[in-house]
Structure 1
Amino acid sequence: MELPAGLTSRPLQLSDARAVYEVMAAEELADVGSVEIEEADVVGDWARPSFDVAASTVGVFDGDRLVAYAEVSGDDRGDAAVHPDHRGRGIGTALAHWMQDAARRRGAPRVGMPVPEGSAGDRLLESLGYHVRWTSWVLKLPEGATIVDRPLPEGYAVRAAETTEYRAVHTVLEDAFLEWSERERETYEDFQASLVERPGFEPWQLRVVTDPDGEVVGAACVQMARSDDSLPPEAYVARLAVRRDQRNRGLAQALMVDSFRVGRDHGAESSCLATDSRTGALGLYEKVGMRVTSVWVNRAIEL
């Protein structure tokens, strides 16, 4: 990469996860006024068997300090961050070109990444010819607010998943997400690494809805997000889905209420989740009282 004088680059390794988190957190704080990322997110993603850290990442260093990073994974998924103190030096442009080259080597037809709408990263990618593929929203339940519980149909139940049901949970989630997401099917091993084996995971965090026969027909994953150790955690619903033939019965709302409730039971004072324009679910979440706190766009470029 062509970098400003004094900066160097190299592939990253698992021990760099903390430094990557710190760069991403600083960027989020500058762009949206809060930190949504956790170190556990980086560790969980990098622990996926399909992800080769050294072959899929690059870090930019000022001496020993990481000041920017980029990664490419999956078919066309990328991510990058530049510490606010080092913006305006051409680092973001260099990382964008690195991501394009890395994606080409994988045979990907395009590469894209999420950026806060209107942020420096959004403006840079637009200037480089990246188009918006979809829009995402982070929504939070206002402090003190509750979502009205919706009774389940007779014979249905919401509870923590049994270990023996984890594969069924993966199937329900993947089947639902692949209805609108253009990507390869996630392997169970990657699901296990990024969610079940994610640092901080506890069995109560994986929630399921079962039908009268005891079959898993809906699932949600609750993560206890904490941007600052001095603050109470937040219950973040990382994934939520209901099997297609079981929809319009109130199961998704029941899962959401259950997720927020168990989050509060474990110390969370607020609850949040994210959705995007491909799902059509924004109106549902707003209808139950959730409020948008940040807007992101996924920008991509054809290779």
Structure 2
Amino acid sequence: MTSTHLDVDDVEINDLGLTGYTVRPLTPDDAHAVFDLMAAGELETIGEVAIEEADIVSDWQRPSFDLATQSIGVFDGDHLVGYAEVASGRYADAAVDAEHRGRGIGTALALWTQRVSRRDGAGLVGQPVPDASPGEHLLRDLGYEVLWTSWVLEMPQGKTIEPQPIPEGYSIRPAEGEADFLAAHVVVEDAFLEWSNRERETYEDFAAQVLHRPGFEPWHLRLMTAPSGEIVGTSILQLSEGCGFVSRLAVRREQRHRGLARALLVDSFAVAREHGAHRSELSTDSRTGALSLYEKVGMEVTSTWRHWAKNTSESPA
């Protein structure tokens, strides 16, 4: 078996220094294989599978993402044993089959992500990896540095967040159409860009990840409205395998400290339970300063992740 020579926009992925493997860009048909690969890694490192195939599908269908030039798969025969992707030249993800570690695949993929970042002009590339995982050890050895820490939190089964009254005239309802979707996108981006150093996400990318995510229903998008009817907060709910996961929670800056975020969280988890969820989860990171707030309402950390990054403008990989 020999490696296939391919060039992806001047970023060579011919053999990456690997022997006995074939390498090619991924296609939408590879989503399930990538899910299996990443799920196995999560089960090994955090003791559960957090990722869903819908996460991969929705990420890959963003208009800003191009599988042909921003992804790579390493195959042993027809079996995917390694994969990497880089969105916007900045945000990477990668995984290697446990049985194929120690053969240089992880290092080769990391170097490839650096070259993609350099090609696409980001100057910095990084990815989240679980605490004390093989991926973390590899990135540390390759000179990556931690930029922030993130946590997945869960409300213990059988417990709920104590409701908090909200000001008179405010209410929560499900999204009902395009105007609501557009308003929710603005609220989320305005809030997240207060602490996230990135370009503003387009509505089309937002729609791909949220509205066109497999399984999405309009009631998954919870909206907080002010007495005027203006949408001032939103919670985005994902339901899968008995779990209600809040993927994004945002309230307009001038509307904070009124209990609106807490009310949205209570509502989202309650709606998820009504639809069969017995677990309630969300994630946050050190840039937001919200960890203690979620712990105060009774949520507990179930896994810790770190975003390791490297300056790709220093020297060619």
2:192 is aligned with 1:192: no
- Give the Cα–Cα distance (whole angstroms) in 1 for the partners of residues 183 and 289 of structure 2: 24
- Give the Cα–Cα distance (whole angstroms) in 2 for the partners of residues 78 and 4 of structure 1: 20
Contact 1:115 1:121 in 2 (8 A): yes
Q: Per the alignment, do residues 75 and 246 of structure 1 end up closer, same or farther by CA in structure 2, a change over 3 Å counting?
A: farther
> In the alignment, which residue of structure 1 is the partner of 2:229?
214
Q: So what's the TM-score if we normalise by structure 2?
A: 0.92
> In the alignment, which residue of structure 2 is the partner of 1:136?
150
2:104 is aligned with 1:90: yes
Secondary structure at the aligned position of 1:6 is classed as coil
Where in structure 1 do 4 or more consecutive aligned residues deviate above 2 Å? Answer: 1-5
Contact 2:82 2:105 in 1 (8 A): yes
- Give the Cα–Cα distance (whole angstroms) in 2 for the partners of residues 84 and 52 of structure 1: 27
Counterparts of 1:91-106 in structure 2 under 5 Å?
A: 91-106=105-120
> In the alignment, which residue of structure 2 is the partner of 1:107?
121
Q: Which of 59, 62, 77 matches 1:45?
A: 59
Contact 2:89 2:116 in 1 (8 A): no
The structural deviation recorded for 1:83 is 1.5
> In the alignment, which residue of structure 1 is the partner of 2:281?
272
- Give the Cα–Cα distance (whole angstroms) in 2 for the partners of residues 174 and 142 of structure 1: 30
Cα RMSD, aligned residues only:
0.8
Q: Which of 157, 161, 175 matches 2:175?
A: 161
- Give the Cα–Cα distance (whole angstroms) in 1 for the partners of residues 99 and 240 of structure 2: 26
Name the amino acid aligned to 1:254: A
- Percent identity of equivalent pairs: 60
Spell out, residue by residue over 1:105-142, the C-alpha distance to the aligned partner (whole angstroms, 9 max, x if none): 00111100000011110010000000000000000000
Spell out, residue by residue over 1:49-74, the C-alpha distance to the aligned partner (whole angstroms, 9 max, x if none): 11111110000000001111000002
Secondary structure at the aligned position of 1:207 is classed as strand
Spell out, residue by residue over 1:90-111, the C-alpha distance to the aligned partner (whole angstroms, 9 max, x if none): 1100000000011100011110
Contact 2:190 2:252 in 1 (8 A): yes
Secondary structure at the aligned position of 1:153 is classed as coil
Contact 1:75 1:183 in 2 (8 A): no
> In the alignment, which residue of structure 1 is the partner of 2:8?
none
> In the alignment, which residue of structure 2 is the partner of 1:240?
249
- Give the Cα–Cα distance (whole angstroms) in 1 for the partners of residues 99 and 215 of structure 2: 31
Q: Which runs of no fewer than 5 residues in structure 2 stay unpaired?
A: 1-14, 313-317
Secondary structure at the aligned position of 1:240 is classed as strand
> In the alignment, which residue of structure 2 is the partner of 1:229?
none
Q: So what's the TM-score if we normalise by structure 1?
A: 0.97
> In the alignment, which residue of structure 2 is the partner of 1:17?
31
- Give the Cα–Cα distance (whole angstroms) in 1 for the partners of residues 123 and 30 of structure 2: 29
- Give the Cα–Cα distance (whole angstroms) in 2 for the partners of residues 5 and 130 of structure 1: 26
Q: Which runs of no fewer than 5 residues in structure 1 stay unpaired?
A: 227-232
> In the alignment, which residue of structure 2 is the partner of 1:295?
304
Spell out, residue by residue over 1:244-297, the C-alpha distance to the aligned partner (whole angstroms, 9 max, x if none): 000000000000000000000011001000000000000000000000000000
Contact 1:32 1:294 in 2 (8 A): yes
2:265 is aligned with 1:256: yes
Contact 2:26 2:72 in 1 (8 A): yes
Q: Per the alignment, do residues 138 and 106 of structure 1 end up closer, same or farther by CA in structure 2, a change over 3 Å counting?
A: same
> In the alignment, which residue of structure 2 is the partner of 1:35?
49
- Give the Cα–Cα distance (whole angstroms) in 2 for the partners of residues 85 and 155 of structure 1: 58
Contact 2:89 2:119 in 1 (8 A): no
Name the amino acid aligned to 1:174: E
